[in-house]
Structure 1
Amino acid sequence: MGVSTCPRCGAEYEYGHDGDDSFTSVSVTYHDDDRDDFAASICQDCGDELLADLTTEVEA
């Protein structure tokens, strides 16, 4: 297990490879664009908020 700091809120969260870790990983892929794809991990609480905001915007 490792510990990382959420870049969004500054909280620390644990991560590892056992599948029971509470954090959110988001990948972004730009299609037909010269920008570089990227991935970021944030704590579960920020992940829930971010995904709720994104889902609301997509449904609107």
Structure 2
Amino acid sequence: MTYALDQGFGAAVLAAGLGGLPFAWDMDGNIFLDESLTETQIVAIKAAAAAYKPAG
């Protein structure tokens, strides 16, 4: 199941050690990656998004 990436995803990003990396997301679940990200960082961001389940 895919979840919307709400404000709580920010906490998941920080918990995964990805805070400060140049990427953004919207409420529809789209992730916008900066071209400066490494492949390892991209994989980690996508994994965090796939594992994210909003509270409630």
TM-score by length of 2: 0.33
TM-score by length of 1: 0.32
Answer 1 or 2: which has greater helix percent. 2
Answer 1 or 2: which has greater strand percent. 1
Pair member with larger Rg: 1
